[in-house]
Amino acid sequence: MDHADQPTLAYVSCPGAAAQGADAGHRMAYWEWNATGNPAHPHVVVCVHGLSRQGRDFDTLARALAPHARVICPDVVGRGHSDRLADPQGYQIPLYAADMLALLAQLHHAAPITTLDWVGTSMGGLIGMVLAGQEGLPLPSPLHRLVLNDVGPVLQWDALQRIGQYLGQPVHFDTEQQGADALWAISSSFGPHTPAQWLALSRPMLRPAPQGGYTLHYDPAIAIPFHALTPEATREGEQMMWQLYDQIHAEVLLLRGKASDLLTAATAARMLERGPRPRMVEFDGVGHAPTLIAPDQVAAVTRFLLAPRSAARP
């Protein structure tokens, strides 16, 4: 397989919550890109997707980064090729963060990691903040650079309500194109894409249905803990996330769609003034969340992650 063009699929065994049909533990799938010619390259970039997405969202960005680093794109448990959990209450950030520690331990055991970077879109950014903002975690290397893609400590309740309207709903599509069209109807805030770009981005979101046709790739039960959120619980979570954010020592790049309803301009302004004091890049004509496919979006991330130490610029 040409590692420059396509990733390899691998798995890590994770402790804790049991997968459906298992007594204990679950497997998380991940996609590995490596075009460096060095399978043990010590620079690793982990790219983690949003709530209802999967690891192939990062194909375009990964192809740009792969000549310079090992790029790891997990399917968070319950999504893509990863196991589905027997108890849907496990579908929450603490378990996802624990799974990422298991993944990093496996990668580090296979080939030592000396530089560790993180790109997190929405939910993936929250996981990144949890790992970057806590001291004493068994990371193979301190998190060096962190890209927060349209996410911060404050999650707007109206945006969560919007997402909840479609998350976990039963769907069936006769064709891939029909599925792509349906995904566009709920994802137009991602910003402009050509039909070919959107179809390529949508294919990994679909899986063959037993009765023929296609359904979505994720376990509908990921919606159960999401729908249990209340405004009060969300505010309590924000306090904890601000504490974690203020403890981040990594260099941070904050990306924001100018029309985002999840990361407001006011929250972004607060983020710039405290904690890691990130650099920020905003994208016109984009809401929640930039897909990191457009050339300007890819360039912002690659310039930041590949810049010499202490010289990262978006």
* 122-133 pLDDT per residue, tens: 999 999 999 999
- 29's CB contacts (< 8 A; 6+ apart) are 9, 10, 11, 55, 74, 75, 80, 81, 82
Which tens digit of pLDDT belongs to each residue from 152-189?
999 999 999 999 999 999 999 999 999 999 999 999 99
- What are 43-85's pLDDT values in tens digits? 999 999 999 999 999 999 999 999 999 999 999 999 999 999 9
Which phi and psi (to 5°) does residue 92 adopt? -145, 165
CATH homologous superfamily for the domain 8-168+218-306: Alpha/Beta hydrolase fold, catalytic domain (3.40.50.1820)
Alpha-carbon distance of 208 to 91, in angstroms, equals 23
Average pLDDT over residues 185-205: 96
The secondary element (H helix, E strand) that includes residue 100 is: helix 93-110
Specify the pTM: 0.96
Euclidean distance between CA atoms 273 and 281, whole angstroms:
15
Give the DSSP H or E segment for 27: strand 26-33
* CB-neighbour burial class of residue 49 (10 A; exposed 0-12, middle 13-18, buried 19+): buried
Q: Which of 32, 39, 42, 79 is nearest to 221 (CA)?
A: 79
pLDDT of residue 1: 36
Tell me the angle at which helices 93-110 and 123-132 cross, rounded to the nearest 10 degrees: 70
